[in-house]
Structure 1
Amino acid sequence: MGDFFYGLTEQLRETFLLDAAFWMQETALNKLMVLNFWAVPLAQVMHIMAIAAGFGATLMLTLRVNNLAGGARTVPQVAGRYIPWVWWALIFIVISGFLMLIAEPVRNMINGVFWVKMALLLVTVLITVAFQNAARAQAHAAGVAWNAGGGMRLTSWLIVILWCLIMVCGRWIAYAPV
């Protein structure tokens, strides 16, 4: 696995991303992030807290879809409660992630693990949108007593697994050679 990421990083060095990273290092926002002692740690804390909120909401919805939690609440009720948390958390994840990217552009822009994480995030968001749209449509058609089918249950666990992979990649970025 290490050889794959090393090779990917070497390929990224030969693209425009290295020049873009050097350009980003010269921006005023980079200087603000680097010179302000608390900026990067605050962005990291915001990032981790947003991930915790979004993943927690996703996990709660997944547990309810699979009849493992939720008690007397229906799937539409649980979805109505937790889906906004997922999307608000994603907004904070993107903002804080952008700030961390600006603070250390070279470490991230030519890091193969970073780009795998971004690809996983894109796939996860697309699957989550499709999952939520299908859940809303099925719940609306079936009414309050709707229970998720096998495909919905499997997709909910896939989303949880993808979020776990994203978190592993996020942690791994710091240790990947650049």
Structure 2
Amino acid sequence: MDRLAADLSCVVGNQGSRVVLVGHSWGGPIVRRAASGPAKEIVRGVVLVDPSDEGATVYFTKGNAVITAVQSAVMPVLARMGILRCVLNAVIRGVGLRKHLRGAVEESTTLAAVRATAAEDRQIRNGLKMLRCDPDVIDVPVTVISGTKKTRCGSSRQELVEAHRRSAGLYPRGRHGEAHN
């Protein structure tokens, strides 16, 4: 996580202007780390959209570890066979975005991309543990947005929303909001 945050800090540091960092899912902790580190001089705000949160126990369960291991094993096979590309194309076709996301699907379904994602996914648990021991200090406005759409993972979704609310409350200028769709 620290390496990814350092990479992000380098990119935004070369912009030459002030920035608002936005992170989704695992990008949330990475953005937080960058905003509390070398990039803090140019960061003027942080927006976290349904971020992975060290306060949610769901990331530390055996079930989560099993899912991560299975995905890491299965996704490269699906990418190699071209099945992953077909599935993602069907998903974006269903929401009417195929024309706009074609390139992203092509790039994100290569074997190299899937392997990189699997390597990153294997680090999430350790990264979140690190945040529990060494929390961020961010002195800019931080907005945490939680998705609240009902899913099959109802109880873990509610736990994540509560973790988001607690995390937002830890920042001097933190606030929490819910996206209901």
TM-score, normalised to structure 2, is 0.30
Larger % of helix: which?
Answer: 1
TM-score normalised by length of structure 1 = 0.30
Report which of the two has the higher share of strand. Answer: 2
Higher RCO by CA contacts (8 Å cutoff, separation 6 or greater) = 1
| Bigger Cα Rg | 1
